[in-house]
Amino acid sequence: MSGHFDFISGATYTVTKDFSDFENNWVTCGARLTYITKGFDSGSGCFIFVFKERKLRLHEGTNKALLDSLQDYLSLDTMPPSEDVGMPAPSAGLDRGIVSIARERPRQVAQAVNLLWFTLAMGVGAVILNFLKVQPKGGILAVALSITFLVIVAKALFIGYLSVGRNWARMLFLIALIYNLVALLFFPADLLVRALMSNLVYNLFYITQLLVECVAMYLVFTFPGSAWFRRDQ
């Protein structure tokens, strides 16, 4: 792959034909891109080309043909002025670019974290509704409140750890989700319907939580989220 290493830092290139990167982000013909630096994310196997306007991720396998002929898609438009100090030097910018790209939290992970906070809020709401319906008293109320508080705090901590890239938190969330889904699927159908109808609102909250958590886990276990959690391995 010799062609994609010859871009000039600070130079502006014009896109000569449409193409998309590994994340299916399209670059349209006629767009102008100012090249800064490049990097390689070993966790995802992607070359990252950093332009002033955007970043492009091209996988070393999936996008090999595009990598080999990338300069056919980008035509040199203007050279950088000799006094331009706004662009990093290629050698210095390369190291900084690799580090920043490898550690930058993907948008998908941020979305997953927001979804998990949403499920936590739903859980709190469901618990309040359940207490209002059942109205436990005395010692039962104290025990129920204590357990509920501990569960909410633990889940909030796990979400916090997951949001900063702790892989063990991601794995614990997945294990807990699988356990809850298996328990739900193997629950006797007649008892499940009876339990659902006995406290319809609470159980609908619970099922919605599980579905939203499935979406969140998909986002953190698929690229680029999965690569971000493996960035230090």
**Which pLDDT value is given to residue 1?**
40
Mean pLDDT of the region 180-188? 84
**Which pLDDT value is given to residue 136?**
64
Same domain? For 117 and 200 the reply is: yes
The residue out of 103, 135, 158 marking a domain boundary is 103
Same domain? For 124 and 217 the reply is: yes
Same domain? For 90 and 169 the reply is: no
Same domain? For 162 and 216 the reply is: yes
Same domain? For 98 and 123 the reply is: no
160 - beta bridge partners? Answer: none
| φ and ψ at residue 14, rounded to 5 degrees | -110, 135
Radius of gyration of the chain, Cα coordinates, nearest whole angstrom: 25
Same domain? For 99 and 122 the reply is: no
Same domain? For 95 and 176 the reply is: no
Q: What is the pTM of this model?
A: 0.56
* Cα-based angle 122, 124, 128 (whole degrees, multiple of 5): 115
Residue 68: CATH number of its domain:
2.30.30.350
Helix (H, G, I), strand (E, B) or coil at 6: coil
The candidate with the shortest Cα–Cα distance to 6, out of 58, 67, 64, 61, is: 67
Same domain? For 59 and 120 the reply is: no
Domain limits for position 36: 3-103
The pLDDT tens digits for 215-231 are: 999 999 987 788 788 76
The residue out of 76, 103, 130 marking a domain boundary is 103
Helix (H, G, I), strand (E, B) or coil at 35: strand
Give dist(CA 7, CA 75) in Å, integer. Answer: 10
Same domain? For 66 and 148 the reply is: no
Same domain? For 73 and 175 the reply is: no
The pLDDT tens digits for 60-100 are: 888 888 888 887 888 888 887 654 444 444 444 444 444 44
Q: Mean pLDDT of all residues in the chain?
A: 80
Over 60: is that where the pLDDT of 120 sits?
yes
Give dist(CA 162, CA 225) in Å, integer. Answer: 11
Same domain? For 113 and 58 the reply is: no
The residue out of 56, 87, 103 marking a domain boundary is 103
Same domain? For 48 and 115 the reply is: no
Give the total number of structural domains in the chain: 2
Give dist(CA 187, CA 89) in Å, integer. Answer: 62
Over 80: is that where the pLDDT of 178 sits?
yes
Give dist(CA 90, CA 212) in Å, integer. Answer: 43
**Which pLDDT value is given to residue 90?**
44
Alpha helices in the chain (DSSP H): 64-68, 90-103, 107-134, 138-163, 167-185, 189-198, 200-221, 225-229
